[in-house]
Amino acid sequence: MKVPLKSSGVVCLLALLLSPWLAAPLHAGNDVLGQIDLEGATKVEKDAGVWVDGQYVGYLRELKGSKKILLLPGEHEIIVRQGGYIDFAQKVTLRAGETQTVAVKLEKDTRVQLPKITAEIKLEVNPNRAAVFVDGVFVGHVAEFGGMGRALLVAPGKRKVTISLPGYQTFETDIDLVANQKSTVKTDLVKGGPAEGTPLPQ
């Protein structure tokens, strides 16, 4: 898979509160659910996106406290993804009331070809924890590409930027960039989107 970048039942707690197919277990208390704790070795892992059973739930470092991952008992697949790295994938089997810790380590993807000529996209998006996709490929979360000295570098040409977060409507925009052009995407995500998040691209 080539990533044209130079920049470095699925539920989290929020999704549980909003997802009707899990409403019954919640009434019985969290002792009915299992919990997954993810530990990242470096900043690369901690800023990586997390999918559970194919649905985006957030980036790794934020998935604790009120955003901790709570799941129904059974087998679940955890995938951790960061632009320029090989996906980390692991299946876990949870029992009710159990907490499992998964250590995440990402390896560089040597197949990725970085563009020699780039254009720049800065993001000013709220909430800044939302996932960012360029041409369908996950590249990070908004906070990584906004503020002083931080931007998303992409190959020139037509690019589709998608920004998604569980509980909010997905934002999409098409940008046609020339070499060395700088562009800024500004938006506030609108509440009311699907609670289950963004499906993992195949």
Assess if residue 45 is contained within a domain.
yes
Q: Is the domain of 36 the same as that of 96?
A: yes
Q: Which residues of the chain have pLDDT under 50?
A: 1-28, 202
The model's pTM is 0.74
Q: Domain check: are 35 and 103 in the same one? A: yes
Q: What is the CATH number of the domain that holds 167?
A: 2.60.40.1120
48 & 123 share domain: no
Domain for residue 5, yes or no? no
CATH of the domain at 97: 2.60.40
Same domain as 149, residue 93: no
Residue after which a domain boundary falls, among 77, 108, 139: 108
What is the per-residue pLDDT for 19?
A: 43
Q: Are strands 34-40 and 69-71 parallel, antiparallel or unpaired?
A: antiparallel
Decide: helix, strand or coil at residue 199: strand
Return the pLDDT at 197.
Answer: 57
Show the domain range for 142.
119-188
Total tally of structural domains belonging to the chain:
2
200 falls within a domain: no
Tokens 């980390």: give the residue.
88
CA distance 28 to 57: 23
Per-residue model confidence (pLDDT) at position 26: 40
pLDDT of residue 125: 96
